[in-house]
Each structure stands twice: as structure tokens, then as C-alpha cells.
Structure 1
Amino acid sequence: MDNIQSSSLKNKADVISDLKELLELVNDGKEGYHNAAEATESFELKALFSKLSGERIVYAAELKEHIALHGAEADNESGGILGGLHRTWLSIKGALTSKDNSALIETIITGEKAVIAKYDELIADFADHADHMELLKGQRDGIQTALMEIEAEETKYQQ
């Protein structure tokens, strides 16, 4: 019976891979917010984006700690190449060049929703992620709060 149960669980490498994928997304967000803060001319948005970039630095450190607890190293300081999620954050660069705060905010909202979906996917996989569930839920809630702050700003810049 135990053998059947354990075969349905992810192995250690898969759990580490999940955490590293989140780390890449968190770092994508950190870089995206940092770039957005530098590009916008709005002092209010600059402050918000800088704060959110700082939060992602903390999230990355927490994820690295959990990856290390699973016996792996996580030297990733920058984002990754995860298809659509990464491209969403990269598209911020396009919005930055136009100095269009509305487009920038819209792009960030899309990215944040995608990241939340990834957290939700891992949180739903309780059996494999039980030992870091509190971390995942806390970071997911922080990203949800960030999304709500960004959405509140969106109405100010809609054309």
C-alpha cells in the first residue's frame, strides 16, 4: 500500500523543480518591477514598484532557503525562460519604452495573475508541497495583495 501511495507522489527532484520554477517567476517579477520603477515618471508608481520589487527579493531568499532544505542549490538571481509567464514580464519592456503607465500596469496585472495561478497549482498539490505550504500560501497572498494594489492604480491611468 505504501508503495502505491508513494508512486503517486512527486519525487524530490520534481519538488525542487517546482520550487526553482517559482524562484524564476519571483525573480522575473523582481526584475519587472525594478524596470517599471525606473521607467515610469509617476513618483507614486515608482514607490509602489520599488516596494514590490523588494518584496520579491525577500520571496526569492525564502524560496532559496526551502530549495536548500531539499538538498539542492538555487543560485538563480534573475528570471527564467518559462514560456508565456516569462514573456509576460518581458513585455513590460515594451510598455516601458512607450512610457504608457496604463499599458505598463495592464502588463503587470497579466503577469501577476499568471504567477498566482502557478502558486495555486502548487498549493493544490498539498501532498508534495506540505512541508513548505505555509511559505507558498504566504507568498501567494502577498502577490494577491500586490495585484490588488496594482489594480487600484489601474483606474487612475486608464484612458
Structure 2
Amino acid sequence: MNTNENAARAFTDLLEISRTGAKGYREAAEGVSNPQLKSELSRLSQQRAQFVAELEQQAQQLGVSAHDSTIESVATDAAAAVHRGWINIKAAVTGHDDAAILGECETGDAVALRAYETALKAQGLPQQAQAVIQKQHSEVLEAKNWITQQKGMSR
């Protein structure tokens, strides 16, 4: 696989994960009852939307079409769709139980972290693109840790 294919796959996966994260966090914010959680989950939704813009810009600078479909990105799409569905199902079944919703956000961020770690291992990504991916990875990890802490306090 050449450098451009590695970059395209990395960006396609991260874009899909970030789009899904923005939507998932928006839905989670709508589902929780705690105003502090609602505010932070909304902020995380906006953060993931910003990630999309940053990733699209990097892909464009590299001349990479980040919309190419690969087997790996199709698998990511499926995982993302499952995650979105679970947020909706859990919220409906649990009557908007904050801890359950946070648990689904935690799961979504765990999937995102794996995608970022895979992208960081991709060969041939320019240093600037790696820096953006590393920064986003750190922010996703920070969000996941915060959610884990909040989930423990919500029980």
C-alpha cells in the first residue's frame, strides 16, 4: 500500500469517527438530565465537528481524497452506526439514564482512540498531519477519561 493510500484510509476513518462522535455527543447531550453533563457533551460534539474541519483541511493539503471507501473504513462505518444506535436505544430504554448514556459515550471514544492509534501508525504521513492526529488523539483520550470519571459519579 502506498503512502497516499495509507493517508486516505487514515483520514477516511478519522473523518467518519469524528462525524459520528459529533452526532453521538449531540444526541447524548439531548438525552442527559444533568445540566453540567449536557453542557460538556455539547462542547464535545462541537469539538468533534472541529476535528472534522481540521482533518478535511489536512487531507486537502495532502491531495488526499478522504472520501475513498476501503474495507477498513467500511468496518469503521459499521462500528460507528452500531454505536449511534446504542446511544438511541439505551436512552430510550433507560429513560435517559445519565450513567448509561455516559457509558455509550465512553465506548464511542474507545473506538475513536483505536482509530487514532491506527492512523498514527500509518507510514508516510507528513509531520504536520501526524501532529494534528496526535493532538486530536490526546483530546479524545482526555474526553474519555472525563466521561469515565463522570460515569462513576453518576451511579
TM norm structure 1: 0.82
Instruction: Please point out which of 65, 85, 102 is paired with 2:99.
Output: 102
Residue in structure 2 matching 1:149, options 125, 146, 151: 146
Between the aligned partners of 1:82 and 1:10, the Cα distance in structure 2 is: 23
Identity in percent: 20
* Residues 13, 124 of structure 1: alpha-carbon distance in 2 compared, 3 angstrom cutoff: closer
1:6 paired residue number:
none
Matches within 5 A, 1:7-26: 10-26=2-18
Q: Which residue matches 2:83? A: 88
The runs of at least 4 aligned residues of structure 1 exceeding 6 Å deviation read none
Which residue, 106, 124, 127 being the options, matches 1:128? Answer: 124
Q: Give, in whole Å, the separation in 2 of the partners of 1:128 and 1:82.
A: 24
State the Cα RMSD in Å: 1.9
Letter in 1 for 2:87: I
Tell whether the 8 Å contact from 2:6 to 2:124 is kept in structure 1 after alignment.
no
Is the aligned partner of 1:61 residue 2:57?
Answer: no
Q: Deviations over 1:16-63 (max 9, x none)?
A: 232022101001000000111112111011011011011111111000
Unmatched 5+ residue regions in structure 1? 1-8
How many matched pairs? 145
Contact 1:32 1:90 in 2 (8 A): no
Using structure 2 for the length normalisation, give the TM-score: 0.84
**Secondary structure of the structure 1 residue equivalent to 2:126:** helix
- C-alpha deviation, 1:85, in angstroms: 3.6
